[in-house]
Structure 1
Amino acid sequence: MSSSQDLHPLSGARFVCERAEGPALVYTVTVYAAGGRTHQATLRWDAEGLAVAEPVCADPWAQTELLKLARVLRHGEQARLSRWRGP
């Protein structure tokens, strides 16, 4: 059994996105950042098709990376996505 500490990389962040139940395209997102910080958010798309993550990640770099991953999620609509991104 792995611990949550195993999910935190030494640099950058690991993004874990899981699609919520229901007809709308909504994801719950957990960002495991280096240093042991964790951020949780909900990712959805507004009426104009722009990705919205709420609450906004305190780290601007991680927020930017999350919105980049949103394009992949919207296109593929997969149930789960896990990606590591370096700074």
Structure 2
Amino acid sequence: MITTTTIIIIIIIIIIIITIIIITIIIIIIINIIIIIVVVVVGLIMILICVIVFAVKMKEAESGWIFGYSFGLSIAGALLIAIGGGITFNTSR
């Protein structure tokens, strides 16, 4: 015979499992948001640094390596932003 206490215990176990699943999903979403923010901010800072360096050093004659450096940094920043977006898109699905 199934008593009311076993039913209550089963319901409590189900509620605990559901809350654990919900908490893990929320934690994953928060971690994803933090990753996106960090990656995007770092990428934007990289691009900003390149723009500033390029604008300042453009006045000098030997700005070839500086142009290459800033261009590479901006590409790296854009890649970082894209990778962050891809990571979140994949984990959120």
* Superposition TM-score, scaled by structure 1 size: 0.28
* Superposition TM-score, scaled by structure 2 size: 0.27
Structure richer in helix, relative to its length: 2
Q: Which has the higher contact order (CA 8 A, sep 6+)?
A: 2
